[in-house]
Amino acid sequence: MKVAVVGATGMVGEVMLKVLAERNFPVTELIPVASEKSVGKEIEFKGKKYKVVGLQSAVDMKADIALFSAGGETSLAWAPKFAAAGTTVIDNSSAWRMDPTKKLVVPEINASELTKDDKIIANPNCSTIQMVMVLAPLHKKYNIKRVVVSTYQSITGTGVKAVRQLENEYAGIQGEMAYKYQIHRNAIPQCDSFEDNGYTKEEMKLVRETQKIIGDKSIAVTATAIRIPVVGGHSEAVNVEFSNDFDVNEVRNILHHTDGVTVQDNNDTYTYPMPLYAQGKDDVFVGRIRRDESQANSLNMWIVSDNLRKGAATNTIQIAEYLVAHKLV
């Protein structure tokens, strides 16, 4: 299995390499790919050194699978070239997510839709993945009408520049800014740029991607996305209105038996999800599960996940694992 990692020197790319090694993905040849300024650099994978190559060289090497995490523009320009060379692309950017001809995949929910003909597969937004992991099994049982979500997102979602900004601010150093405002001791109510409707792109991703992954455009979603000075993962306060009534203990039981979801929900022991403990783990953690007493058939939850792992690298590699297991590459 010849595997290219496009964006291998970036924050998500580095986690991809780590997850590939941890999960013993059957890599027989690794092709680390990055921008021209990184070509020739060496990266280490499973104790071996590999030289970073450029995009055209990688296309010519005809990988079986290419894991993309190099931004939307790169993906739009290069994913079709890899696909034309026979490589199956799994893309982490927003470039292909809402393309009606491309599958948007969270393996636990909709990997069964994949076929050999899918040469470009979209990985959803990090904040969407963790939310739909919890919503999908509940939708099957109770039918979701409406979702109100507020996200509290890690700076790692912005990248290395944001991590550096926070570190500089901790240390009292004036440096390059990833955000328009300081992030240390602050909460910025803007993730990504604004759309014409007053919502940010990040907020609208939660709306559109949730409907596409679950496969139900009737689900109403409204979102507010906030950046906070946290490193370990994204947190979400999620309010769900169902068509049918529910028992809170049954909700916990459904989620307890959902692959990839860990229930942390015990008020007596102060057990609930936090990014501090989600960091470096692949599961989605859910807690503070309680009935919304202000409205019928409604539920409140708190959902946390490491945005670089299940929110990006791990989900991408799980898609690749499904393709290999079902002989689709």
Bind-site residues for phosphate? 97
**Residues 2, 62 contacting (CB under 8 angstroms):** yes
Summarize the annotated binding site for substrate as residue ranges: 153, 227
Summarize the annotated binding site for NADP(+) as residue ranges: 9-12, 37-38, 307
Sheet with 261-263, edge to edge strand ranges: 220-227, 144-153, 234-242, 298-305, 284-291, 261-263
Query: Of 139, 234, 256, 257, which is the active-site residue?
Result: 234
Summarize the annotated binding site as residue ranges: 9-12, 37-38, 97, 153, 227, 307
**Residues 12, 310 contacting (CB under 8 angstroms):** no
Scan for tokens 């450029």, then name that residue.
54
d(CA 221, CA 208): 8
Q: Among candidates 71, 112, 81, 102, which has minimal Cα distance to 312?
A: 71
Query: Of 126, 184, 256, 326, which is the active-site residue?
Result: 126
Residues 6+ apart with CB under 8 A from 124: 97, 104, 105, 106, 132, 205, 209, 213, 315
d(CA 218, CA 227): 28
Examine the residue annotation and report whether 234 is marked as an active-site residue of this protein. yes
- 88-91 and 120-122 strand pairing: parallel
Examine the residue annotation and report whether 191 is marked as an active-site residue of this protein. no
d(CA 91, CA 51): 22
DSSP collapsed to 3 states, 98-163: CCCCCCECCHHHHHHHCCCCCCEEECCCHHHHHHHHHHHHHHHHHCEEEEEEEEEECHHHCCHHHH
- 48-51 and 144-153 strand pairing: unpaired
Residues annotated catalytic, as ranges? 126, 234
